[in-house]
Amino acid sequence: MKIPPVVVAYLQVLPLFLVLLVFLGVPLVLVVVVSFFDYDMFDIVPAFTLRNYDELLRSELTYTLYYNTVKYAVMVWAITLVIGFTVAYFLVFHVRNLLWQIALFLLCTVPFWTSNVIRMISWIPFLGRNGIFNQSLMLLGVTDQPLEFLLFSDFAVVIAYVHLFTLFMIVPIFNAMARIDPAIIEAAVDGGASRLQILTTIVIPLSKTGIALGSIFVLALTMGDFFVVKIMSGGQSANVVLAMSNEIAMLQYPPAAASAVGLLVVVSLMVAAILRVVDVRRELAG
């Protein structure tokens, strides 16, 4: 019995679809539904109420949290963009040997394979008052007091995020750059372009999709994270997801759900805005 190829395709994609449906689709719907539930001290009460959204939108805390979230996200995005672009540019256009290119690229990715939590907390002995960084600064005579702002501050939060997520910017940009036909670069040289002009007129426009993809990843991951903010700010700062985790810990699911929906809307808007500017589909589809 010959099965038509289309049916085969459906069968092949079925497991993926099922997993995503059950563990992503349904949970998402549930979160939206629960965000309209009521709650009391002991339990959640199935109902339809706008209480959670009301509390969310009226609370000053909400706006502070969102401000923090977006603040960190934008700062991290800007820094990872500069670093990611520069590293990718170096690897693609300045490293001649293919083997070296792969080796250096792998070198950048290896830390990614270790636990995020470990990588984050490794900053503590590094940046602390008695940490390596301060000790070396004092040894070199740059300062005679340890720099306090290094740890448990906004600076520490941003540094930790950059450390964790730059790779997500490097990989898509590297991919996009590597796809540029070398003959095009040569044609630009032939047409009289200086290296800077080649960068601005050829390389950057042709890496746009990679930059957009990297930006989406970094923004989404930063805004969806909480443990970096919790640890690295020393409890002084908070963001939306951190507040959410607190509510979950107290079993107050409806307000947590409302928070989650709110965040999802904001992240989706950001992603949609980026997609309006750059069409990323071609890049992702290989």
- Residues numbered 15-74 forming contacts with another protein, rule: CB under 8 A: 15-17, 19-20, 22-28, 30-31, 34
Whole-number minimum distance, CB 27 to another protein, in Å?
A: 2
Distance CA 192, CA 47 (A): 69
Closest-CA residue to 222 (of 68, 61, 113): 68
Whole-number minimum distance, CB 186 to another protein, in Å?
A: 6
Is position 152 an interface residue for another protein (rule: CB under 8 A)?
no
Q: Which one of the spans 47-55, 57-65, 70-78, 87-95 is the region binding another protein (CB under 8 A)?
A: 87-95
Is position 276 an interface residue for another protein (rule: CB under 8 A)?
no
DSSP state of 39: E
The answer to whether 247 and 259 have CB atoms below 8 angstroms apart is yes
Is position 202 an interface residue for another protein (rule: CB under 8 A)?
yes
Q: Which one of the spans 55-63, 70-78, 137-145, 186-194 is the region binding another protein (CB under 8 A)?
A: 186-194
Name residues whose C-beta falls within 8 Å of residue 216's C-beta, 6 or more positions apart in sequence. Answer: 271, 274, 275, 280
Whole-number minimum distance, CB 251 to another protein, in Å?
A: 10
HSE (CB half, 13 Å, CA atoms) of 177? 25
Whole-number minimum distance, CB 65 to another protein, in Å?
A: 13
Residue number, 57 or 187, with CB nearest to another protein: 187
Indicate which single residue of 51, 53, 119, 278 sits in contact with another protein (rule: CB under 8 A). 119
- Residues numbered 221-250 forming contacts with another protein, rule: CB under 8 A: 221, 223-227, 231, 241, 244-245, 248
Indicate which single residue of 1, 5, 99, 276 sits in contact with another protein (rule: CB under 8 A). 5
Bridge partners, residue 39, by sequence = 44
Is position 212 an interface residue for another protein (rule: CB under 8 A)?
no
Residue 2: alpha-carbon gap to chain centroid: 46
Which stretches of 167-209 are assigned E, i.e. beta strand? none
The answer to whether 258 and 49 have CB atoms below 8 angstroms apart is no
Is position 173 an interface residue for another protein (rule: CB under 8 A)?
no
The answer to whether 153 and 68 have CB atoms below 8 angstroms apart is no
Is position 79 an interface residue for another protein (rule: CB under 8 A)?
no
Whole-number minimum distance, CB 58 to another protein, in Å?
A: 22
Residue number, 61 or 184, with CB nearest to another protein: 184
Kindly state the tokens that stand for 201.
């007129």
Distance CA 176, CA 107 (A): 19
Bridge partners, residue 44, by sequence = 39
Is position 190 an interface residue for another protein (rule: CB under 8 A)?
yes
